[in-house]
Amino acid sequence: MEPVMKKTDVVRAILGERFHMTPSHTVGKAFAPTNIALCKYWGKRNQELNLPVTSSLSVSLGDKGATAEIKIHHEPEDMIILNGESVSSNTSFSKKLIAYLNLFRPAGMRFHITLQSNIPIAAGLASSACGFASIICALDKLFDWKLAPQQLSILARLGSGSASRSVWSGFVEWHAGIREDGMDSHGEMIAYSWPDLCVGLLILNQQEKIISSREAMQCTVQTSALYAAWPSTVNRDLQILKEAIQDHDFHRLGCAAESNALAMHATMLSAWPPIQYALPETLLAMQTVWALRQAGVPLYFTQDAGPNLKLLFLKSESDCVRHSFPAIDIVQPFICN
């Protein structure tokens, strides 16, 4: 068997000599936005390095995201504070975070991490994406590595695939890459702004996920006969989305994003056992979107690995959307509050 590339190999390759640097500052602090994929990341070609089968494209949600603050901790164990509360080291959250920090710390060094998130935790809002992105950016400041954004994107990916897109605001394309070591699998900013674009967060159900997106993805790749057509679906949708962003063609953007999300869920439906994240309330909300669209309202949705929807529309439709979905939380990704 060929030697398998490990996460630590990637970290050493990127940090080089910097791996042995001692912190330049007493604290490193960084914010990273959460991101909503308009063309989804669904399926890995490498589980260890979170290398995707296809490229994907997202929009970051402005000031919705996570802020990480990291200091050196002179105690035998890391200290993790999430939204003001200390998290026990036994939780899966802590274990995942500590395993990630282990990739970067010189022997014996412990961290005090404060993570503050302003997005609902259970909402399927890619909290791990902005979490890992904010942590790698905070480490970069603490150690004064001065890494390029694309290097930060690669390192964020080692924590969670979609975190590779949360290193930037605005539209971001995550290139799948073809290299075994994933050095060409990172985000890239798409330098177009769209001030009128709105993303409406629609929390339909707060229950915990029936199955993690990680597991759902793997089950789909392994068992869904329709997954064979997913890469070509993504190629088509990515192309349309990039043109729509350049042209500010909202209709094309919405169609491609909604169709891509439904195609992702379609691959899950044909997995075995079948995976259905939609709940009856999800279906009802979809039907409302379709009815509004039929009535002439340019309104679309996207859905991630959970029952909640994210609506896509332009600012001019805000009142109409709020009328049909009173509980909606509207974000303008390109407007700072």
Can you give the binding site for a copy of itself, defined by CB under 8 A? 224-230, 232-233, 236, 255, 258-259, 262-263, 265-267, 269-270, 272-274, 276, 278-281, 283-284, 286-287, 290
Helices (H), the chain: 7-15, 92-102, 127-143, 149-159, 213-223, 230-247, 250-269, 280-294, 318-324
What is the sign, positive or negative, of the torsion defined by CA atoms of 198, 199, 204, 206? negative
Least distance from a copy of itself to the Cβ atom of residue 26, Å: 52
In whole angstroms, how far apart are CA 226 and each of 178, 246, 266, 278?
A: 23, 31, 8, 19
19/104 Cα distance (integer angstroms): 7
Least distance from a copy of itself to the Cβ atom of residue 235, Å: 9
Q: How many CB atoms lie within 10 A of CB 72?
A: 16
Beta bridge partners of 27: 71
Shorter beta-carbon distance to a copy of itself: residue 106 or 274: 274
Shorter beta-carbon distance to a copy of itself: residue 169 or 259: 259
Shorter beta-carbon distance to a copy of itself: residue 150 or 220: 220
Shorter beta-carbon distance to a copy of itself: residue 113 or 292: 292
Enter the tokens of residue 228: 């064979």
252/241 Cα distance (integer angstroms): 7
Q: Helices 149-159 and 92-102: crossing angle, nearest 10°?
A: 140
Least distance from a copy of itself to the Cβ atom of residue 249, Å: 15
Least distance from a copy of itself to the Cβ atom of residue 230, Å: 7
Beta bridge partners of 36: 59
Least distance from a copy of itself to the Cβ atom of residue 302, Å: 12
Question: Residue 298: is the preceding peptide bond cis (ω within 30°)?
Answer: no
Least distance from a copy of itself to the Cβ atom of residue 307, Å: 10
Q: Is 19 exposed, middle or buried (0-12, 13-18, 19+ CB in 10 A)?
A: middle
Determine contact, residues 155/182, Cβ cutoff 8 Å: no
Shorter beta-carbon distance to a copy of itself: residue 212 or 287: 287
Least distance from a copy of itself to the Cβ atom of residue 227, Å: 7
Shorter beta-carbon distance to a copy of itself: residue 188 or 258: 258
Shorter beta-carbon distance to a copy of itself: residue 111 or 313: 313
Residue from 118, 47, 88, 200 nearest 134 by CA: 118
Shorter beta-carbon distance to a copy of itself: residue 164 or 220: 220
Q: How many CB atoms lie within 10 A of CB 77?
A: 11
Least distance from a copy of itself to the Cβ atom of residue 306, Å: 15
